[in-house]
Structure 1
């Protein structure tokens, strides 16, 4: 093949054009690094994501304005002291400690503890957290999961604060409370008992974000005492504003593995807990703690022996104490795993994090908790183009509307309580399509109030009750597979007290049109009625684009690795390198300015999703790679052409030593083949040959 450039114009056939294009630009570094999902990528720090710059309807807790209070303190040369949550035993709570110990509590600022304190050092990580004397593992387990999902983390932990600039002893954090985001202001005086942190303490002595965030949450809840025991499900919702579902591991749904896979793929927050409320914090011989909450930080299938093994990664908020059984640190099972895979997954440290098999997970734990903006963890089966919408209703239970104490009569509930109707237009019988979440709200002066027993009925219009759910928890959430029809949800309570409630009805949409005139929002969902929350290319673009509303190669790399390497099959071939993303960007960069606009990214997105579907379909043995014959079939499926010589060059250029092509290399290869094929066809105008000048040829091969 002669690809030399002559001074005069040269005739190029489509075969020569594609051969030259395939061999020109580096797309992917070689390697077989396992990158199962974004739940396995570690901390993100404060990288720019294009996520929400502000929150809608942000409320100021106790009417305290952070910016105003800080400016006032700076102007007066004072450190902030919060009278609404003072350095006093009242903020601890009367029953957390014996009275003699309560009066031994000392309050100290980080500047008194460390010469050079920081709010955050080297990014935010779950490994920054070590649980203190307070039994708030339920909150810390949710917080550990939050550190893995920066799209939520940046909501909770504002960036406009620290110890280096404009320090005035004041900080603020945000939590979702009953439909609204609330900004909670605190001073930085932390409680100590006998010289030790009473609350969570950081692993790095001069990093204080965990302790300060926990204090803000204690203020929101009324006292530190109110963090001593709680529900992981509550904390997940408070940190995200999302919807959470609990799954019993003693009676698991038949599609539990698919739910875990979909949850990891869609970047959900996940946690789990053990039983044993009467034996809380008792560590068994196998290392598992009874009555304790944990974070799920990863789930993946790996090649093992002659098949695949589903393993789950779990983190203990204590910051130490790990599972000692199969797949734990140093267990013999890891000896049968490919060295590169073992190196990527295994962190052999006493940091509270460990792996275990899915079977052992179900044996040792009682409950699985999954949370996201919408119920994406139910997105399995036929899910392409699937989105969720939500209807929100806020109303009041009054004695006249309650069903009556210990009265569970559906007829009584339907006759006396408000009904909220929704219509299911169609459904896929393989997956769930409706999630209903009912939350009770205590009065603002009743933080210590006990939960009512609440629930709801689902009825067909003018028909009998189909489902009834009750629980003594703050919110009751369940998922359903409902056939087409009109339904009514009837919220109920067994008490005759007046309480406000929030009802959210999430419905799966199978017929979403990307050309809808509903503008995507870069902000986290605020539960606007019928608000579409989806992974359309517009929403993804806005999450990663910079202030100039464009994506550069670095942002594209982050996007591709976090969005498209969720499935274990697509992740086995390694991650998208920076060079590969520069090459992809150049192919799509119509303006030749080194960035992708929304329009250009939309073209890329459609190609990426198409090639992901083709790759998964053609990978018939589920190896995570395509061999030569599978690659040939994939090219044909894409509607492109490649003769044997071109196919050999593609495998040589993009394949590994075994002549296999992983997903990331496949994407680079196909994007280049597709782009150059269409470019040739446009220039040729139906002919089989074209004339290009040396300048045109160099422009094509040196940038694209």
Structure 2
């Protein structure tokens, strides 16, 4: 496998369009629809043969094997190999996998970790397939690619050389999920040859859609043990690798293979003798070959561990899995990789109820812009800049993660991986700079309060598309919060040179200013929010209504909204748009009084009949119907005034009226 500093032959590229993908919005690789193709094969009584990834040398790759061996490749279906084949037998396990002739330990180490985390496994391996009912020689698997989940269809013809699996082989002879998953990934990458050497970090991201971090074990962070324990506790995918000659798996005397990738399957702290010991559990994708040093299966160290603990942890089999101390782990391995939806592995020592939110941006790098080697405030101002604000709190210990991923155009199959990176600036001053020649670069930081900009860059004059994700720890989150930060994208991100996250929208209409006034807010709401036909039927946002909205959200009372204040408004707009569309059952673009009552209840607010009538009179048309723009003004005022009354009452102030009397007063005037 490759280490983060080595070269990589890129996979076959492909173009995507549309919004950022999800499992509900799957992209069909090569426009192949699994259900349609399977139904067609079943109706014709034939087994599927995939013309886009045929049983041919082209699918193997011309340089994987000598020409005489390539000519001897045979393709066989599981039904030809076994009388009663299964896709899965007794669940999915890392012990089902044994690496074949192809040097794709980096992929199999990631798959081994995938089998431990059901939440990710079910995304990759759909349940609607098998060798029993509905078998037609066709299968499909899902992978995440540059912001999209992609469904990859394959036939089940597998390559054999001299009667042996060329690719991964199942430990159980009639279980075929490992071989078929590997084939689907080979198709995604262009050929089996393109699996022969690669990055474990890439595979972890492709199997999860998450954020991965590579930690150097030769220069480890001081809190490595805490990171490992936090990652294990939060169900992250983990892997590790050794250094050594590329594409040469050399096993040394202590059992560790050089230039090889492994899965990290556990990290625990156990009582040992009169103290504590931190040990790591590791699995070899070969399915055999284990560490022979301290804490191996037959190690005397286990004699000093409490019997129940030893029984729970030790599996004395030649299955490729072994334990070792954290000290030996750092000595024998070069890199540790951790991956999850959000950077939960950085949450150790955090006693607060926190969550990570993420902003995602997809854009195109142009070679005419400033590069990493040409830093100056003026030059960097030419580049796309993505702003985020660190609030005033004490981070423990990390609060920001930035991940930048490059993607090559469809016609650049063998293009080199560029040296990409990003600058983090604050008030036109460079704060941090990170560059690496890898598909993606991800770094974590502890940043003090302030407003920052991330500036993607490259050291080479070449155009490429990039995906930038900024993860931020939210200290102000609590269980009673009305707006908990989302662990996924806040909304769909169009695949254009601009995105629809609220920060990008804000900056687009403020022209990079720090605040937005009523006139700018009016233009923004009418341009962005009223694009939907249903919400636009009730009329546009007037300047007067925007002044009213701004006054409700303006905590600083200066007639302008900051980015943080606009973020609160944006979340309210999203919430009320969902409620409006749900309650507008006849799709008229308006709510009548009964629908307004239901909408208020859905929002968790209260209004009696008198208040409902007054609100319809104040915000409705001649027929007392309320369009979306007026509905937003009404609901924002109702929510704000409800909270104001509750704060007055809870603060000990003397309130000589009921909540409904208060709301009747403030909602009509």
Same fold (TM over 0.5): yes
1:123 and 1:326 mapped to 2: Cα distance? Answer: 32
Work out whether residues 356 and 485 of structure 2, in 8 Å CA contact, stay in contact via their aligned partners in 1. Answer: no
Q: Give the aligned partner of residue 197 of structure 1.
A: 165
Q: 2:204 pairs with 233, 236, 244, which one?
A: 236
Secondary structure of 1:162's counterpart equals coil
Q: Give the aligned partner of residue 397 of structure 2.
A: 431
Structure scoring higher RCO (CA < 8 A, sep ≥ 6) equals: 1
Q: 1:507 pairs with 469, 472, 478, which one?
A: 472
Relative to the length of structure 2, the TM-score reads 0.69
Aligned residues: 475
5+ long unaligned stretches in structure 1? 1-53, 532-704
Q: Give the aligned partner of residue 418 of structure 1.
A: 384
Q: Give the aligned partner of residue 443 of structure 1.
A: 409
Is 1:318 matched with 2:286? yes
Is 1:471 matched with 2:436? yes
Q: Give the aligned partner of residue 401 of structure 1.
A: 369
Q: Quote how far apart the aligned CAs of 1:78 are.
A: 0.5
Q: Quote how far apart the aligned CAs of 1:514 are.
A: 2.9
Q: Quote how far apart the aligned CAs of 1:306 are.
A: 0.5
Work out whether residues 66 and 171 of structure 1, in 8 Å CA contact, stay in contact via their aligned partners in 2. Answer: yes
Q: Quote how far apart the aligned CAs of 1:293 are.
A: 0.5
1:525 and 1:210 mapped to 2: Cα distance? Answer: 34
Work out whether residues 477 and 485 of structure 2, in 8 Å CA contact, stay in contact via their aligned partners in 1. Answer: no
**Cα separation, partners in 2 of 1:244 and 1:503, compared to 1, 3 Å:** same
Which whole-Å deviations, capped at 9, do the CAs of 1:187-234 have from their partners, x for residues lacking one? 000000111100000000000000000000000001101100000000
Secondary structure of 1:384's counterpart equals coil
Work out whether residues 139 and 155 of structure 2, in 8 Å CA contact, stay in contact via their aligned partners in 1. Answer: yes
**Cα separation, partners in 2 of 1:64 and 1:300, compared to 1, 3 Å:** same
Q: Give the aligned partner of residue 156 of structure 1.
A: 124
1:512 and 1:521 mapped to 2: Cα distance? Answer: 11
Which whole-Å deviations, capped at 9, do the CAs of 1:369-418 have from their partners, x for residues lacking one? 000000000001224311000000000012212528xx353557514311
Work out whether residues 370 and 380 of structure 2, in 8 Å CA contact, stay in contact via their aligned partners in 1. Answer: no
Q: Give the aligned partner of residue 182 of structure 2.
A: 214
1:525 and 1:92 mapped to 2: Cα distance? Answer: 40
Q: Give the aligned partner of residue 484 of structure 1.
A: 449
Q: Give the aligned partner of residue 497 of structure 1.
A: 462
Which whole-Å deviations, capped at 9, do the CAs of 1:297-354 have from their partners, x for residues lacking one? 0010111101111100000000000000000011100111111111111000010000
1:208 and 1:445 mapped to 2: Cα distance? Answer: 33
**Cα separation, partners in 2 of 1:81 and 1:521, compared to 1, 3 Å:** farther
Work out whether residues 373 and 525 of structure 1, in 8 Å CA contact, stay in contact via their aligned partners in 2. Answer: no
**Cα separation, partners in 2 of 1:477 and 1:323, compared to 1, 3 Å:** same
Q: Give the aligned partner of residue 316 of structure 2.
A: 348
2:285 and 2:458 mapped to 1: Cα distance? Answer: 34
2:247 and 2:196 mapped to 1: Cα distance? Answer: 15
1:502 and 1:55 mapped to 2: Cα distance? Answer: 19
1:383 and 1:413 mapped to 2: Cα distance? Answer: 42
Secondary structure of 1:277's counterpart equals coil
Q: Quote how far apart the aligned CAs of 1:517 are.
A: 4.4
Structural RMSD (CA): 2.0
Which whole-Å deviations, capped at 9, do the CAs of 1:114-155 have from their partners, x for residues lacking one? 000000000000000000011100010000000000000000
Q: Give the aligned partner of residue 289 of structure 1.
A: 257
Relative to the length of structure 1, the TM-score reads 0.65
Q: 1:116 pairs with 66, 79, 84, which one?
A: 84
Work out whether residues 146 and 153 of structure 1, in 8 Å CA contact, stay in contact via their aligned partners in 2. Answer: yes
Please show how residues 469-618 of structure 1 align to structure 2 within 5 Å. 469-517=434-482
Q: Quote how far apart the aligned CAs of 1:469 are.
A: 0.6
Work out whether residues 423 and 434 of structure 2, in 8 Å CA contact, stay in contact via their aligned partners in 1. Answer: yes
2:45 and 2:484 mapped to 1: Cα distance? Answer: 46
Work out whether residues 354 and 478 of structure 2, in 8 Å CA contact, stay in contact via their aligned partners in 1. Answer: no
Q: Quote how far apart the aligned CAs of 1:494 are.
A: 1.9
1:276 and 1:323 mapped to 2: Cα distance? Answer: 17
Is 1:85 matched with 2:53? yes
Work out whether residues 85 and 219 of structure 1, in 8 Å CA contact, stay in contact via their aligned partners in 2. Answer: yes
**Cα separation, partners in 2 of 1:167 and 1:117, compared to 1, 3 Å:** same
Work out whether residues 255 and 289 of structure 2, in 8 Å CA contact, stay in contact via their aligned partners in 1. Answer: yes
2:42 and 2:487 mapped to 1: Cα distance? Answer: 33
Q: Quote how far apart the aligned CAs of 1:519 are.
A: 8.4
1:413 and 1:110 mapped to 2: Cα distance? Answer: 59
**Cα separation, partners in 2 of 1:383 and 1:183, compared to 1, 3 Å:** farther
Secondary structure of 2:303's counterpart equals helix
Please show how residues 327-346 of structure 1 align to structure 2 within 5 Å. 327-346=295-314
Work out whether residues 231 and 345 of structure 2, in 8 Å CA contact, stay in contact via their aligned partners in 1. Answer: yes
**Cα separation, partners in 2 of 1:530 and 1:273, compared to 1, 3 Å:** farther
1:309 and 1:526 mapped to 2: Cα distance? Answer: 44
Q: 1:134 pairs with 91, 99, 102, which one?
A: 102
2:456 and 2:486 mapped to 1: Cα distance? Answer: 30
1:182 and 1:525 mapped to 2: Cα distance? Answer: 20
Work out whether residues 295 and 315 of structure 1, in 8 Å CA contact, stay in contact via their aligned partners in 2. Answer: yes
**Cα separation, partners in 2 of 1:324 and 1:390, compared to 1, 3 Å:** same
Work out whether residues 121 and 207 of structure 1, in 8 Å CA contact, stay in contact via their aligned partners in 2. Answer: yes
Q: Quote how far apart the aligned CAs of 1:463 are.
A: 3.2
1:345 and 1:524 mapped to 2: Cα distance? Answer: 38
Is 1:96 matched with 2:64? yes
Please show how residues 671-682 of structure 1 align to structure 2 within 5 Å. none
2:199 and 2:65 mapped to 1: Cα distance? Answer: 21
Q: Quote how far apart the aligned CAs of 1:261 are.
A: 1.1
Q: 2:31 pairs with 44, 63, 71, which one?
A: 63
